[in-house]
Chain A
Amino acid sequence: MDFGFSEQQRDVQNLARQILSDNVTAEKLSQYDDYKAERFDRELWQKLADAGLLGVAIDEEFGGMGFGFFELGLLVEEAGRTIAPLPLISHLISAALPIQQFASQTQKQVWLPKVASGEILLTAALSEAYNDDPAQPYLTLAKADGSDLLLSGEKTNVPFAHIADRILLAAKTSDGVAVVLLDPKADGVSLSAQQVTTYEPQYVVSLNNVRIGAGDILASGTEGQALMQWIAERTTVALCAHQLGTSDKAMRMSASYTAERKQFGVLISTFQAVGHRAANCFIDVECLRLNTYQAISRLDGGLDATNEVQIAKIWAGDVGHRVSYAAQHLHGGTGIDRDYPLWRYCTWLRHNEMALGSSAKTLAKLGKRIAAGEAFCS
């Protein structure tokens, strides 16, 4: 048991923190508000690629650093700390990682080097309308046509679908789930923009008899379902890591504010009620941090982590919610003033809370596992 970062992990963390904090400013973020511009800083994306960080968990033979999932998680945490305008989770965790883990050597050769270099953009379609279980698609169907598949249906909230080179997407088949790499420019694909709370570009992806060649099928049947479960767990934990960075920053912003703001002639931090609300955030964030690191650590080590991922997501939802409103409250009107940077954090705290299963829903899932005898304390 070791709660310390390795030198390699510290290096990744420091490098990511430096590049992101130097390059993401409130002023820059403001240009994306209300969808005034596409929320994607391509210059910064290229800087991360040049520093090797986009390839942090891509094998060396494909031009990456060859580090593990833990280092990738640390990068995502730093992206959360700055709420960087970058599609890191959809590109690297939901799409590139499964390609590296499950795709053929040819597919890997085609995609991974360009993932690491930032030349292409991948994304994943994990949600359908009112269905946020990536492993159980039922509004997108695939039927076999020779060795090809024909896909019809609809995915929702797909980040950056309009500029993605491929969308990893799952469809229900007669014998399970087919996981494919979809070219959004293919015949029968139409995109319609959604406006969401974070101003991230997201799309409804509609499929009308879209032909997928055998070379673009990653898995099918029960294997496909397992693959989607694999993606769901890693993406869920990535959301937790993002939530960790976001909530830690919102909390520290609030603590600093109370150490500057005076009322009744004294700093408001000296009021016990104020200090205690911040202390509750500190405890919350620590619980989120440790549960997130535990889930990442287990996945990184190839261990079963279903319970730990669910527990981390429950904390991510609860902590995000509590820290968001504590931070707004401790700032008073300043917290909701759009000229002050906190409000953007609150939208991401909400995003990470709701994406891929809220606390309530995840508690219910964990409860089922407990009932089935699958979640005893060791």
Chain B
Amino acid sequence: MKVEFTAAQDALRKELRTYFENLMTPDLKAECDEAMGEGGGPLWREALKKMGKDGWIGVGWPKELGGRGMSPIEQFIFVEEVMRAGYPFPFLTTESVGPQLAEHGNERQKREIVPKILAGECLIAIGYSEPGAGTDLASLKTTAVKDGDGWLINGQKMWTSLAHFCDYVWLACRTDPEAAKPHKGISMFMVPTSDPGWSCSPVHTLGEVRTNATFYDNIRVADDAMVGELHGGWKLITSQLNRERLSLVNFGPTAEMFNNVVRWAQKLDLPDGGKLIDEAWVQINLAKVRAGVEALKLVCYKQAWAMTEGNLEMADASAAKVYGSEFFIEVYRLLGEVIGEASLISRRTEGANPIASRIERLYRTASIITFGGGTNEIQRDIISAAGLWMPRASR
């Protein structure tokens, strides 16, 4: 066991940090701020393509798939750095659906879609939840019905985030309504958002992040739009979610925010002399964040390492997701307290402190991932069952 980065990994972190310092121009930063951390703008797209061209998006992917052949740890280092730089990285596409396509996709998907993902030229949204199917995802009703040499897709999805600027939806459809168990009648499809039968309408959220309701009206796709086996979608969904959970709780942005608040508090003068950081309660708040970030870093990297070894444990992925998502909420409170009332001032105010206004935005988005990506109650069910072998209730 060597929990430290190797010299090569340290060098990679440095290289990437410099790379992103250069990439994140003020214009790009402004555009990303305007998109509330989602991306999708023209400069954002350009930057993504540049990362692709420079070989970063697939740094941990095998060479035969167009990657650089390094390990998932290097891939995670890349994602950590890109997110730390404040770039809204489309990790759902690159870190969760992409690897599923590379592993389970058919020849056409591997030939046409995977290289585009690594080039930063293809974006994919996730189509799981429906108005009546959230935590009980296997009860989903969107259907794909065999139609000659293709499939006819009809239904509605909810919370299809990023779909308004994505090229495909990774769509879970019911293909066997008679299946003995509902999760055994689900298949996965890559549905192009360019189809005339596809439409979306925005849902605006507390954190100003846009998400979508998406509609599928008699969309006809060819046989080779299916991913993996017929009725074999559930396995793809759960392993996509395991990967997504790790990406959701990336610690890079929090580490950066902590450092920024410390530097700011070291400089801020108090009315009675001294600096804000001299206050005992400020030091305690910061120490709580620091100790928590360290755990998050280790939890994330342990899983990146487990992927290298090919044994990402379900309980560990769920533990990371629960810990990270609930910790983020605490972080925005603890750091918000340090900053005080200024952490209520929006970035739209002229002269707003960017560190404070970032917290003003993030505290409003923090709840998303305690239920998104698989609600934490289900994650805790998974942990007690898979991690502690506790028999659970049947549902």
Contact = CB atoms under 8 A, between A and B. Distances in A.
Nearest to A70: B1
A282 B283 contact: no
Interface in A232-289: 251-252, 255, 258-259, 266-267, 269-272, 274-276, 278-280, 282-283, 286-287
Nearest to B254: A377
B384 interface: yes
B180 interface: no
Contacts of B380: 272, 275-276, 279-280
B301 A259 contact: no
Interface string A125-161: 0000000000000000000000000000000000000
Given A266-B393, A283-B319, A315-B295, A278 B3 contact: no
B189 to A, nearest CB: 33
B252 to A, nearest CB: 9
A311 interface: yes
Contacts of A5: 1
Given A251-B388, A377-B255, A367 B286 contact: yes
A311 B381 CA distance: 28
Nearest to A5: B1
A163 to B, nearest CB: 35
Contacts of B3: 1-3, 290, 293-294, 297-298
Contacts of A287: 295, 298-299, 323
Nearest to B378: A272
Contacts of B322: 279, 283
Contact of A270 (B284, B323, B389, B391): B391
B329 to A, nearest CB: 15
Nearest to B309: A4
Interface residues of A, number: 54
What is the interface of chain A mostly: helix, strand, loop, or mixed?
A: helix
Interface in B348-395: 377, 379-381, 383-385, 387-393
Interface in A328-378: 363-364, 366-368, 370-371, 373, 375-377
Contacts of A279: 319, 322, 379-381, 383-384, 387-388
A270 B306 contact: no
Given A1-B6, A269-B384, A286 B316 contact: yes
Given A283-B383, A377-B258, A290 B315 contact: no
B273 to A, nearest CB: 16
Contacts, number: 172
A1 B299 contact: no
A363 B289 CA distance: 10
A373 B266 contact: yes
Contacts of B377: 272, 276
A364 B384 contact: no
Contacts of B45: none
B27 interface: no
A294 B298 contact: yes
Contacts of A293: 1, 3
B391 A267 contact: yes
Given A364-B284, A376-B259, A275 B290 contact: no
B291 A366 contact: yes
A6 interface: yes
Interface in B291-324: 291, 293-295, 297-299, 301-302, 305-306, 309, 315-316, 319, 322-323
Contact of B302 (A70, A290, A315): A290
A282 B319 contact: yes
Contacts of A6: 1
Interface string A292-310: 0110011001010001101
Contacts of B178: none
A46 interface: no
B305 A1 contact: yes
B181 interface: no
Interface in A1-56: 1-6, 9
10 contacts: A1-B4, A4-B305, A276-B384, A282-B384, A282-B388, A301-B2, A366-B291, A370-B290, A371-B278, A377-B294
Interface of B: 1-6, 9, 73, 255-256, 258-259, 262, 266, 277-278, 280, 282-284, 286-288, 290-291, 293-295, 297-299, 301-302, 305-306, 309, 315-316, 319, 322-323, 377, 379-381, 383-385, 387-393
